[in-house]
């Protein structure tokens, strides 16, 4: 797998880590170091914290697209982590599959209740003059 640049001050990486923090995806020390990075900046991290950041925050989330094997940008990383596909492949597959699986089994929307009430409320089978 291609190794991503590891500038811990990279705005795209910080946005990615910010998303992890926001989603409460990090626990324990990983969450603490991630928050410190976001609040104080990369230069304030100790060497140990940088290692922990790499091992506990960044590495676990680095993944490649299952379809095209590309390593996504940080902006796309969580999408690939969640779906297994980069946005390009995801959209390509979406475009093909969504109409195909438009389910026949999906029930039609129920008719509005008020129609039933109106019918039920009518005088029973008033004679119809032809
Ligand atoms: Zn892809």
Q: How many CB atoms lie within 10 A of CB 101?
A: 8
Task: Measure 23 CA to ligand 1 centroid, in angstroms.
Answer: 24
Where residue 105 falls among pLDDT bands split at 50, 70, 90?
A: low
Averaged pLDDT, 17-39: 96
* Structural domains of the chain, count: 2
- Determine the structural domain holding residue 95 and report its residue range: 63-101
Residue 124 forms part of a structural domain: no
Mean pLDDT of 104-130: 59
Distance between Cα 98 and ligand 1 center (Å): 18
* Residue 47 φ/ψ region, left for φ over 0, alpha for ψ in the -120 to 50 degree band, beta for the rest: alpha
Span from the CA of 2 to the centroid of ligand 1 (angstroms): 14
**Average pLDDT over every residue of 109-125:** 59
Cα-to-centroid distance, 117 and ligand 1 (Å) = 52
Residues 82 and 31 in one domain: no
Same-domain pairing of 51 and 83: no
Provide DSSP, 45-69.
S-HHHHHHIIIIIIGGG----TTT-
Name the band, by pLDDT with cuts 50, 70 and 90, for residue 111: low
Judge whether 36 lies within some domain: yes
């Amino acid at each position: 797998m291609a190794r991503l640049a590891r500038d811990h001050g990279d705005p795209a990486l910080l946005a990615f880590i910010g998303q992890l923090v926001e989603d409460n995806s990090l626990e324990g020390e990983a969450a603490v170091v991630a928050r410190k990075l976001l609040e104080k900046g990369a230069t304030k991290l100790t060497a140990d914290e940088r290692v922990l950041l790499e091992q506990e925050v960044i590495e676990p989330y680095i993944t490649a697209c299952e379809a095209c094997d590309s390593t996504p940008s940080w902006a796309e990383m969580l999408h690939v982590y969640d779906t297994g596909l980069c946005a390009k492949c995801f959209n390509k597959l979406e475009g093909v599959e969504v109409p195909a699986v438009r389910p026949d089994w999906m029930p039609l929307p129920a008719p509005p209740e008020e129609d039933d009430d109106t019918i039920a409320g009518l005088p029973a089978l008033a004679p119809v003059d032809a």
